[in-house]
Amino acid sequence: MKEQLKTIKKKNIIRTTGADAIMRSLIGEGVDTVFGYPGGAIMPIYDALMDHNDKIRHILTRHEQGAMHAAQGYARVTGKVGVVMATSGPGATNLITGIADAMIDSTPLVCITGQVASSLLGTDAFQETDVIGISMPVTKWNYLITKQEEIPEIMAQAFYIARSGRPGPVLIDIAKNAQFGELNFEYKKCIKLRSYVPKLKPDKEKIKEAAVLINNAKKPYVLFGQGVILGAAEDEFRAFIEKSGIPAAWTILGACALPKQHPLNVGMLGMHGNYSANIKTNECDLLIAVGMRFDDRVTGDLKRYAKQARVIHLEIDPAEINKNVRADVAVIGDVKETLPILTGMIEKRSHTSWIREFRDADKIEYKTVISKDLYPKKEGLTMGEVIRILNEKTRGNAIVVTDVGQHQMITSRYFNFTNKRAFVTSGGLGTMGFGLPAAHGAKIGAPEKEVVLIVGDGGLQMTIQELGTINQTQAAVKIVLMNNKYLGMVRQWQQLFFDKRYSETYLLNPDFIKVAEGFGIKGKKVIYRPELENAIQEMLDFTGPYFLEVNIEKEDNVFPMVTTGASVSEVILEPKK
């Protein structure tokens, strides 16, 4: 036995339990923070956590969905893989909404769930749920570990799959017997998997074809998305548009890939995007999509989308090519690799007259929409003026997190993002309740930066218990509640398209300041315009978490607007009278 132990030590192998092997695997991947909620089936892993809490910090959320969104916020601002732990049954199923959100928004996560012992699988044991079957459609990969010997290899594969190529969530379900069982533990990071090719090598012939189209185009137009950020290719992208001189517009998740004030940044695409950014899609002669997936909120009616233009699509995921919009030239690969090659092949140009068309359209939008949002003459407060003052006070340097709804669109439109990875929001799934826990996770990931949450009264109440998590960690999240006492986005549609029949959108809200103070968080409420600027400054100056409630006018709507099924050319700038 002594001889065997010497051999194990010599090979840098230790004898330990499966639960401890999970912790050591996380440390092997450089994980320093885990979000989660304990329970019976994952208790051995939580017990092992106590032996490693000098290396791994655990954030105890108040709900498993809160853990998911917090891990998403953490992953989005740091670029690291977020890690979540939960127990079996309801603990695991409470993760599903967050997993689905992470899947569609390409957020790298590893979710570790406890499971009943192997001998009880399929018996409807207490808190047994087939989380592998449930999560399969919304994970990049999932796996059930029934033997402790599998743990090091499966954990290494999980992190590799989550972070490589197009990132996404991975779920590892671990039977309780595998957590208790012993194994000879040695950890090796995964760098390759047979049959899994996370990114293809750039095809230089395709890139040459793309360069020819770009060099010959008279009205080229770049649409960029989160792929630029996920590929850490912000600098390469900027070099590309500055050499090509092409105007560029962004999807909501691509907002921080290029500073908003850049002269070639022409605004936000989509249902509530900028007027020029939308209408010029159907006037360009070449559309260059970089790291975006042609979401329906961006394209509107596909039958009338950019039919006059040739299309170049730079994308890491081959499944996105020709899925919604047919590409004349598809450049498959990591944009951090493909963009520099393309930039080297294109001519240095400027498109002054073409860009002037965007700026002329911008003047129309400013007069009709923006000036009224940012500098309202009506009595009630608007969401736009809150964001304008926040811009002035932070100089665009804060990390901004939003929930989902009208405030999300207003924040996307008006906050002047200047830094990389400075905007965290739920894009493809549009998950109400995302904001509060995601803001907490963002602050945990970037404690040195100002983190401001913009949230509505509807979304806040879906995960309001996470105020308790913020209180426990004392993370200095600054919360701005825009309270209009309605489910604002639904109410806007009811106002415009359902004859103001406000069916089940009015909210009888609690006293939010008392709720915040009950969780140990300082709060203040603003009703009148003269109070607003000083209140925002007071919030930003406060050293801990702070809750600022701003009463917003009920019928403060978001325009411009491209309604469902409409063409991007059919932009509504103001409500019909």
What are 402-415's pLDDT values in tens digits?
A: 999 999 999 999 99
* Percent of the chain with pLDDT strictly greater than 90: 95
- Given this model, what pLDDT does residue 2 score? 38
Q: Is residue 370 part of a domain?
A: no
- Given this model, what pLDDT does residue 242 score? 98
Task: Give the sign of the dihedral formed by CA 109, CA 482, CA 489, CA 408.
Answer: negative
User: Which pair of tokens denotes residue 115?
Assistant: 């499971």
User: Which pair of tokens denotes residue 436?
Assistant: 């509060």
Max CA-CA distance within the chain?
Answer: 88
- Given this model, what pLDDT does residue 12 score? 75
CATH of the domain at 106: 3.40.50.970
Q: pLDDT by residue (tens digit) across 70-124?
A: 999 999 999 999 999 999 999 999 999 999 999 999 999 999 999 999 999 999 9
Q: Given 185, 213, 233, which residue is the final one in a domain?
A: 185
CA distances from 129 to 92, 136, 150, 274, 345 (A): 8, 13, 21, 45, 54
Q: What is the mean pLDDT of residues 461-473?
A: 98
Q: What is the mean pLDDT of residues 234-261?
A: 97
Helix (H, G, I), strand (E, B) or coil at 269: coil
- Given this model, what pLDDT does residue 273 score? 97
The structural domain count of the chain equals 3
Q: Is residue 576 part of a domain?
A: no
Q: What is the mean pLDDT of residues 371-390?
A: 95
| One domain for residues 350 and 380 | no
Residues taking part in catalysis = 64, 126-127, 176, 489
CA–CA separation, 526 and 549 (whole Å)? 6
CA–CA separation, 321 and 313 (whole Å)? 7
C-beta pairs of 505-508 under 8 Å, 24+ apart in sequence = 507/457, 507/458, 507/461
Q: Is residue 173 part of a domain?
A: yes
CATH of the domain at 251: 3.40.50.1220
Q: What are the beta bridge partners of residue 482?
A: 456, 550
Gap between the terminal Cα atoms of the chain: 87
Burial class (CB in 10 A: 0-12, 13-18, 19+), 12: exposed
Q: What is the mean pLDDT of residues 127-141?
A: 97
Q: What is the mean pLDDT of residues 328-357?
A: 98
Q: Is residue 1 part of a domain?
A: no
| One domain for residues 338 and 219 | yes
Tell me, what amino acid is at 7? T
- Given this model, what pLDDT does residue 53 score? 93
Q: Is residue 558 part of a domain?
A: no
CA–CA separation, 342 and 55 (whole Å)? 43
Q: pLDDT by residue (tens digit) across 213-229?
A: 999 999 999 999 999 99
- Given this model, what pLDDT does residue 6 score? 40
| One domain for residues 325 and 427 | no
Q: DSSP string of 477-509?
A: -EEEEEE-SB-HHHHHHHHHHSTT--TT-B---
Burial class (CB in 10 A: 0-12, 13-18, 19+), 564: exposed
CA–CA separation, 35 and 112 (whole Å)? 10
- Given this model, what pLDDT does residue 530 score? 96
Which run of H or E residues covers position 158?
Answer: helix 151-163
Q: Is residue 366 part of a domain?
A: no
Q: pLDDT by residue (tens digit) across 9-47?
A: 546 789 999 999 999 999 999 999 999 999 999 999 999
- Given this model, what pLDDT does residue 575 score? 84
Contact of 435 with 453, CB cutoff 8 Å:
yes
Contact of 121 with 132, CB cutoff 8 Å:
no
Which run of H or E residues covers position 174?
Answer: strand 169-175
Q: Is the pLDDT of residue 338 over 80?
A: yes
CA distances from 121 to 17, 88, 118, 146 (A): 21, 12, 5, 10
Q: Is the pLDDT of residue 8 over 60?
A: no
| One domain for residues 20 and 124 | yes
| One domain for residues 266 and 350 | yes
CA–CA separation, 339 and 289 (whole Å)? 12
The distance from CA 396 to its chain's CA centroid, rounded to whole angstroms, is 19
Among residues 449, 447, 217, the alpha carbon closest in space to that of 329 is found at 217
C-beta pairs of 296-304 under 8 Å, 24+ apart in sequence = 296/324, 297/270, 297/271, 298/223, 298/251, 298/269, 298/270, 298/273, 299/324, 299/325, 299/568, 300/271, 300/562, 300/565, 300/566, 300/567, 300/568, 300/570, 301/565, 301/566, 301/567, 304/567, 304/568, 304/569
User: Which pair of tokens denotes residue 444?
Assistant: 């945990």
Q: How many CB atoms lie within 10 A of CB 287?
A: 25
| One domain for residues 29 and 57 | yes
| One domain for residues 300 and 407 | no
Rg (C-alpha) for the chain, rounded Å, is 25
Contact of 468 with 66, CB cutoff 8 Å:
no
CA–CA separation, 431 and 105 (whole Å)? 11
Q: Is the pLDDT of residue 498 over 60?
A: yes
- Given this model, what pLDDT does residue 11 score? 65
| One domain for residues 353 and 379 | no
User: Which pair of tokens denotes residue 347?
Assistant: 């001519």
Q: pLDDT by residue (tens digit) across 312-323?
A: 999 999 999 999
| One domain for residues 423 and 473 | yes
Helix (H, G, I), strand (E, B) or coil at 522: strand
Q: What is the mean pLDDT of residues 470-485?
A: 98
Contact of 87 with 113, CB cutoff 8 Å:
yes
Q: Which residues of 33-57 are buried (b: 16+ CB within 10 A; e: fewer)?
A: bbbbbbbebbebbbebbeeeeeebe
Q: DSSP string of 372-401?
A: HHHS--SSS--HHHHHHHHHHHHTT-SEEE
| One domain for residues 495 and 436 | yes
Q: Is residue 369 part of a domain?
A: no
Q: Is the pLDDT of residue 482 over 50?
A: yes
- Given this model, what pLDDT does residue 378 score? 86
Q: What is the mean pLDDT of residues 413-426?
A: 96
Contact of 21 with 148, CB cutoff 8 Å:
yes
Q: What is the mean pLDDT of residues 185-207?
A: 95
Domain containing residue 100? 14-185
| One domain for residues 429 and 311 | no
Q: What is the mean pLDDT of residues 243-259?
A: 97
Q: Is residue 195 part of a domain?
A: no
Burial class (CB in 10 A: 0-12, 13-18, 19+), 447: exposed
Cβ contacts of 443 within 8 Å, gap of 6 or more: 73, 399, 449, 451, 475, 476, 477
Q: Given 185, 215, 248, which residue is the final one in a domain?
A: 185
| One domain for residues 156 and 208 | no
C-beta pairs of 318-324 under 8 Å, 24+ apart in sequence = 318/200, 320/293, 320/294, 323/293, 323/294, 324/293, 324/294, 324/295, 324/296, 324/299
Among residues 476, 391, 468, 471, the alpha carbon closest in space to that of 442 is found at 476
Q: Given 185, 217, 237, which residue is the final one in a domain?
A: 185
- pTM score: 0.95
Q: How many CB atoms lie within 10 A of CB 238?
A: 18
